[in-house]
Each structure stands twice: as C-alpha cells, then as structure tokens.
Chain A
Amino acid sequence: MPAIKAARSAGGRGHGPLLPPCVLHDNFFYRTRTDYMPTINEKLTEEIRAQARTLLADGTVAAVIGFARGSLPMTVKPVVVRAAADCGRLVWNSFCVLNLANYLPEVLKSVEPPRGPRDPKPAGPLPKVAVLATGCWSRNIVVQTQEHQVDRERVVVMGVASRGMVSRRKVESHFSGREILAVEELDHDLLVTGADFADKINRWSVVRDNCQTCIHPDPVLVDVRIGEPASARKNPNPFKQVDDLEAQTSAERWAWFTSEFSTCIRCYACRNACPLCYCPTCFVDDARPQWVGKSLDPVDTGLFHLLRAYHCAGRCTDCGACESVCPMGINMRMLTKKLNKDVLNLYGMEAGMQPGSPLPLTTYATTDPQKFIVTEAKAVKEDE
C-alpha cells in the first residue's frame, strides 16, 4: 500500500504554529476549503502555544505538560516541553483522551535539582511545572494535592474547558473494516478520509460516553485560562448507564461482568493511564501474599478489575482515560462509575470538587448509613 504510506508520512511531519492541528496537508478537504476560518481548537492551540511560550520564556515554569501530534490519525501523544522554542509542538484537539495529571508527579520530580534520598530539601522554592487541565484532570490534580502527591504551589494549571473528547473506537466503528487515513476536525463535525472514501460525521455523536454524561467540563483550578469558560452543563442523570445495569437481576449482572472482562489481556494499560495509580508496588505485583494471580484466568482478571476500581473509590473523576487506552475496548469505567454513584449518594462527595475537605474514605461520620450491617435484631427477626 504505497499510497497509504505516503499519505501517512506526509501527515506525520507537519510542524510550525500556522498549521491547524491534526490535518493531513495533502488531504482532500483541506485543499477544497477556500473559506478558511480557524476552528475553535486551532484558536485554542495558538493560545496554548503562546501561553506556554510566555511561561517558559519568563522562567515561571521549568516544563509544560501538553499534547503533541500523534503518528496516526486521531491520536496525540503526551509531551513535556522544556524550552520556549519547542512550544510549537503543542496541539489541542478532540483526541486528547489521556489524563495529563498522570504525568504531573513524575515531571515535578524531574525538574527538581538532583539529590540523594536522605539529602535535605534544597532551600528556596523548587521549579514549577505547568499542565493543561480540563474539568476532570484538574479535579485529579486536587485529589493528588489532597493525597500529598503534588505540591499545589509548584503547579501552574492551564485551564481549558473541555468540549468532550472523541472516542477513536466510536469513529472507527462508523467505518468498520476500512482504514482511516486522516481525520480533520471542524467545530461540530469530523471529516474522515480513507483510501477510497471521505465522509463527514457529527462530532458529538462520537464523543466518549463519560464526556457525554459529564457535568463538570470546566476546570476547578485555573491559574492561566485558555479560551472561554464552559457554560454550565446539565444532565438529569449522569449515572444512567449504571442504573440500567442495576435494574437487572444478579445473574444478568454476573453475565455482563464475565463477558465484559473476558477479553482482558492484563496489559495494565488502564492502570498506567490512571492518575490515581501511583503506588510503588501495585497489589497485582505483590507476590507474598499474591492477592491476584498473574494468569489470564477469568477469576484473576475479574479480581484485578474489581480491586483496581475499588482502589479508585472516592478518588475517580471519571476522566475515561482507562477506557480510552484499553486495546480491547473494555468498559471498565462502569465499575468506577458505580462507585462514584455510591460515594455521592452515601457521603455526598465528588472527587476533587471539595479541595479543602478530606477524601471520602479517609474520613467518617458517626451517622454514616449502615443498612448493609447484619444486626442481632435482624437475625432474630429472620429466625422468627
């Protein structure tokens, strides 16, 4: 397929601030667009580059975490920019599905002057790091601050209101079996091009499930504002998918669980993409005791997903990174969403929305509901 290869290499190597993001410059639509107006994302990209350049040039931050163009259509890669001259690499589009808060603790450590494990902290303030953040990512930064993984003083949050990120899997399912060579993004549509087809699809129809049900698109922390704040989004029931499953019988839910997770290959991409998973030794790597076997046995796989989700209880912001990076397309987000629903209903808390208060599982109230507890009175009643 020499034609495809040529198109790919042409698209993969675009640089410079003037080029709109995620566009193959020899593509059909680009050449036919005579009434050129920058799209929302192109404007945001320009603003991100300008702000990042200023922050790096005046020495406010030592690094900027953002996204660079990916090597395939509908992909971006996380990038750490350390020089003002490299800011042209930064892009912003609807395919920024990874959660940048995930990289924050590591990048913060990397900009510190090197020191041994027992050396004292150097005097004076440590270098800062700027990070792009939408609603959910900024909430993750709040959680990281609450858990003492990140020093808020050292983070410059470049807040972008999210318009909802696109699921690559959903776009691909529109064109089953045909290879997509380029996707150009307009404000409300996607122009999808392949070797023998070109089509326009509605952007919102392929936005990820978690973004479609999201009610907090605007960042909760903003040091540098990029673009306009998002207008309030209302969703009568953000937990509809969970409710639908809950309405089923226990046996049906077990059937759903076993079939959903049966394709898991235990690559741990969901764990690695998650900003909550920072334990030096994960429970899946423990050998003594071995909580979860390392096999592909359905029980081991199920236990891994249950415990992984459970460890995110009260901390998950439903950013959807786990689901987006899954090579098998497993909806493991349903488990964390269920926990989010319970935490909200039982304790009235949403992760990252109350920066001053402790996380739900690190605190308690004497009046916490305890309907699930077996009491002696109940025991007697059931006997009668």
Chain B
Amino acid sequence: MTTQTTQTSSTSQTSQTSQTAPWDPKIIAFLCNWCSYAGADLAGVSRFQYPPNIRIVRVPCSGRVSENMIMSALKSGADGILVSGCHPGDCHYISGNLFARRRFALLSSLLDFVGIEPGRISFSWVSAAEGEQFAEIVKTVTERVRSLGPATRLVKNIDTVQTA
C-alpha cells in the first residue's frame, strides 16, 4: 500500500513539473556490477562531469538484462535506455556479456525494424578502470536522446487510456 501511494504521488508530481519545466531526457542505465557500475563510480570519485539524466539500475551482469526489462522501461516512459557491461572477454561470469551481445544485436535490430528510433536504446562496454570513457558515453547517449526528443513510440500513456 505504501509503495502504491508513493508511486501515485510521484507521478502526479512529475506530470505537474512536466507542464512547467522544459523536457529533459530520462535515461535508464542498466550497469553491470563488476565493470560498468564500478566505472560509473570511478567517474564519480574522479570528478568527471557527465549529464545527470541517467538513472542507474545495478545488475549482476549484462547477461542478466532481459528484453522484458528493456521493453518495460520503454513502456514506462524512459526516453532512452543504456545497457553497459564488461568488455568481451572480461566478464566476471566468463561469458555472460557474450550471450548478451547476441541478444542485444537481435533486439536492437528488431526494434529498429518496427520503427523505434535507433538512438533510444544503446549498448556499450565500460570497464571498471574507464571512468572517463563512461562519462563520454553517457554524454553521447544523452545528446542522442535529446536530439530525438521525448519518447512517444511504445510508451504507455495512462492518461489517454483513462479517457478513451
């Protein structure tokens, strides 16, 4: 019950702010615990500046990120999605990111096929030592999403459902 109440209050807050404040992209970043999350941490402690548009979800491995999670984030209104894991060959679980690479290749191609803009969903490899590179990638991804504008395709808009 408590979570539901907080959710509703936060949605009403965002809808209020979206009427007043200019749009700023919201990007969900799925970062693997062993490399990319540590890379993001390093970017932080090294004071590399990067846009504050990403919301990080820490996952055990990029192989843990399923298509369901990505599509669910899109549905819930994320303007962009970034999935990042260890470089091929460096996976903590030996091959998780290699399986993930095949799955992401097919998913990004399928989403492009049905008309989701290619820049919405990005994949990258960032190691724990690449704080600066992480900041660069986040900058690129944010700029790309910003140039695409707010996500409209495959976004479930609760307001229109209620009025329809």
Contacts and interface: CB of A to CB of B under 8 A. Distances in A.
Contact of A257 (B67, B98, B99, B115): B115
Contact of A253 (B95, B113, B133): B113
B62 to A, nearest CB: 11
A283 B75 CA distance: 15
Contacts of B89: 366
Interface stretch (B16-24, B53-61, B149-157): B149-157
B contact patch SS: helix
Contact of B110 (A339, A346, A360): A339
B72 A291 contact: yes
A302 interface: yes
Given A250-B115, A255-B115, A347-B102, A297 B161 contact: yes
Contacts of A36: none
B105 A370 contact: yes
Nearest to B133: A376
Please indicate which of the listed interface residues A255, A300, A303, A365 has the most CB atoms of chain B within 10 Å of its own CB.
A303
Counting chain A residues whose Cβ lies within 8 A of the other chain, the interface size class is 35 or more
A380 interface: yes
Please indicate which of the listed interface residues A242, A309, A347, A373 has the most CB atoms of chain B within 10 Å of its own CB.
A373
B101 A368 contact: yes
A309 B123 contact: no
Contact of A372 (B105, B113, B115, B154): B105
B37 to A, nearest CB: 17
Interface in B95-144: 95, 98-99, 101-118, 122-126, 130, 133, 136-137, 139-141
Given A310-B106, A373-B101, 16 more contacts: A242-B113, A257-B114, A257-B115, A289-B72, A335-B110, A347-B102, A364-B99, A366-B89, A368-B98, A368-B105, A373-B125, A374-B124, A374-B137, A376-B130, A379-B136, A379-B140
Interface of B: 67-68, 71-72, 75, 88-89, 95, 98-99, 101-118, 122-126, 130, 133, 136-137, 139-141, 153-157, 161
